Structure 1
């Protein structure tokens, strides 16, 4: 299994580094991913999902050390939430940096999650950078709960499909919390 995972990570890394899109299992749902610093790849995700680019995307990082590369100031509350939460939680931070401009919301914020999933962790570590992760569906359609539910349009629209966990039934998408640098906390999705 370790050899298979390494092979899938290597294939996904090649695709990400070449500016392509991957379809991969996350700690929540199947995601469409790309290099979070590649504007062209991000534009490709918006086109594939038929989603307006004013709707921000989430990105994944391996740990809080990597998080510091992409957020100017990490509020203390974020570290507390990450320590105590027992479910996948995406946090929206003010003052994003070092990311593709079309990934950052109009207000300068960015949604980031540290996934609790071995494949994602290893992929992020070896990529050594943030990876966009958005649900593997066309905008307006339900989020697929399993690999079998992913549409042909999405499957054909990505450059590489990770061949792991196809049998996995996904949980619901992560909770989303917006943390302002001034201490404001707002639950976007419970």
Structure 2
């Protein structure tokens, strides 16, 4: 069955949020690429995301948050993490930090850590806010393939979604940079260049 294609307006965003709260799985736009979203507290929904994406168990997925305050509910944000968050959020930096909220699905966590990010996308932020401030935000693509940057690519790549929120092209079209604050190292260089991140941390020191 084809997913419900939702328009990028208040009604469509509200419908997408309702689907998430009822345990569904959606695709939605972010500032980087399209993401797969579900309630991170719903084990069955998170399992569906892994199945739809073909993602191996043990590989964590990031969470998108509506604000720094929401991220702080999920993860232990130390001083360095907060410096990065205040500099780059909303934006394309995923911060990997120790899990704080033990009710989050264990599939989302790896080695006791969780990735959190506040996206720089008006419609994504509205959607996340309606989903209690946090939403699974793994890229919308089969594992190992390039992420989708629009709704039609999502529909062509993935099966089993309940809905797609169609807001046109993703802004950047490149995955976020991932930084592990505990290890003090970049795990994945993406939309934010290594030099830019290092410059921010040098100023912090």
Same fold (TM over 0.5): yes
Conservation of the 8 A alpha-carbon contact between 1:32 and 1:136:
yes
2-structure distance, mates of 1:90, 1:148: 26
**Quick one: structure 1 residues 121 and 145, their matched pair in 2 at CA, closer, same or farther if it must change by over 3 Å?**
closer
Structure 2 equivalent of residue 118 of structure 1: 122
Structure 1 residue 169 displacement after superposition: 5.9
3-state DSSP of counterpart to 1:35: coil
Structure 2 equivalent of residue 185 of structure 1: 184
- For 1:113-151, what per-residue CA distance to the aligned partner results, in whole angstroms no more than 9, with x for missing partners? 111111111112222131001111111222223333335
**Quick one: structure 1 residues 153 and 116, their matched pair in 2 at CA, closer, same or farther if it must change by over 3 Å?**
closer
From 162, 172, 175, the equivalent of 1:159 is: 162
**Gaps spanning 5+ residues in structure 2: where?**
1-6, 190-205
Structure 1 equivalent of residue 88 of structure 2: 85
Conservation of the 8 A alpha-carbon contact between 2:43 and 2:105:
yes
1:33 corresponds to 2:32: no
TM-score calculated relative to the size of structure 2: 0.81
Conservation of the 8 A alpha-carbon contact between 1:147 and 1:168:
no
2-structure distance, mates of 1:19, 1:139: 22
TM-score calculated relative to the size of structure 1: 0.87
From 87, 104, 108, the equivalent of 1:103 is: 108
3-state DSSP of counterpart to 2:82: helix
Equivalences for 1:14-93 in 2 at 5 Å?
14-71=18-75, 73-85=76-88, 87-93=91-97
**Quick one: structure 1 residues 134 and 30, their matched pair in 2 at CA, closer, same or farther if it must change by over 3 Å?**
same
**Quick one: structure 1 residues 121 and 168, their matched pair in 2 at CA, closer, same or farther if it must change by over 3 Å?**
closer
**Quick one: structure 1 residues 4 and 187, their matched pair in 2 at CA, closer, same or farther if it must change by over 3 Å?**
closer
Structure 2 equivalent of residue 133 of structure 1: 137
Structure 1 residue 79 displacement after superposition: 1.3
Give aligned pairs, total: 181
